[in-house]
Chains A and B, each alone.
Chain A
Amino acid sequence: DTGVSQDPRHKITKRGQNVTFRCDPISEHNRLYWYRQTLGQGPEFLTYFQNEAQLEKSRLLSDRFSAERPKGSFSTLEIQRTEQGDSAMYLCASSYQVQSYGYTFGSGTRLTVV
Chain B
Amino acid sequence: KNEVEQSPQNLTAQEGEFITINCSYSVGISALHWLQQHPGGGIVSLFMLSSGKKKHGRLIATINIQEKHSSLHITASHPRDSAVYICAVPQQPMNYGGSQGNLIFGKGTKLSVKP
Residue of A nearest to B6 (CB): A42
Chain B residues with Cβ below 8 Å from A79 are none
Question: With A56-B101, A98-B100, A99-B100 as given contacts, are A105 and B35 in contact (CB-CB < 8 Å)?
Answer: yes
Q: CB of B7 within 8 A of chain A?
A: no
Task: State the total of A-B contacts with C-beta under 8 angstroms.
Answer: 69
Contact, CB under 8 Å: A103 / B41: no
A interface, size bucket: 20 to 34
Q: CB of B99 within 8 A of chain A?
A: yes
Complex: how many Å from CA A50 to CA B105?
Answer: 21
Complex: how many Å from CA A105 to CA B98?
Answer: 21
Contact, CB under 8 Å: B45 / A107: no
Residue of A nearest to B40 (CB): A107
Chain B residues with Cβ below 8 Å from A102 are 33, 45, 48
Residue of B nearest to A40 (CB): B107
Residue of A nearest to B105 (CB): A42
Least CB distance from A30 to B in Å reads 11
Contact, CB under 8 Å: A108 / B41: yes
Q: CB of A2 within 8 A of chain B?
A: no
Residues of B within 8 A of A (CB): 4, 30-31, 33, 35, 40-45, 48, 86, 88, 90-91, 98-108
Residues of A within 8 A of B (CB): 31, 33, 35, 37, 40-45, 48, 55-56, 89, 91, 93, 95, 97-99, 101-108, 110
